[in-house]
Structure 1
């Protein structure tokens, strides 16, 4: 059974198997951010991007970046590192606007 699972996931040992699980978990975080955004928009009856979307983006992006580094995939590494920067910048802008509006 383990041999079939390893073959299906294209892994050779338990360490690689764990990394695949980490990568899948990160991908689930990315999927969750879209579900959060969709639910928030449906409730508001307009397009809304909640702050939690950006936190899920950062979490998923950082873990996928680690996974990409482990897999030594330069395309994936570049894509995730750029994304994490953009997600952080969006949070920075959100909190900067909140500070301006408070004071």
Structure 2
């Protein structure tokens, strides 16, 4: 059992001390920005009493995803590159759809 704890400690030390650099801080910040989108969605939904996705959700999605993609490219991490690359396109497309819908609603005459 002692060997297990020693191995775990050694692993965590390498990950969080030896390999911790400015890019690791950037990656953590990116993850925080990306995670904030769920908090903003939750708050917006609670305020309206129904599930809604505010524009801030999509903007945080784009910014967080781009930051994570930059981090992945710097770290040369194919899992993150493949995971975040397509997401950026999906989030941008959703922003385009929301803006188009808002423009259409604004163009409709009021009764």
Equivalent of 1:67 in 71, 89, 98? 71
Q: 1:3 matched to which residue of 2?
A: none
- Is the aligned partner of 1:31 residue 2:35? yes
In the other structure, the counterpart of 1:9 is 16
TM, length-normalised to structure 1: 0.85
Unaligned runs of 5+ in 1: 1-5
Equivalent positions of 1:1-103 (< 5 A) are 7-9=14-16, 11-12=18-19, 17-103=21-107
1:15-54 deviations in whole A, cap 9, x for unaligned? x610000000010011111000001111111001100000
Gaps of 5+ in 2: 1-12
Q: How far apart are residue 8 of structure 1 and its match?
A: 4.4
Aligned residues: 96
- State TM-score, norm by structure 2: 0.79
**Cα distance change on mapping 1:38 and 1:10 into 2, 3 Å:** same
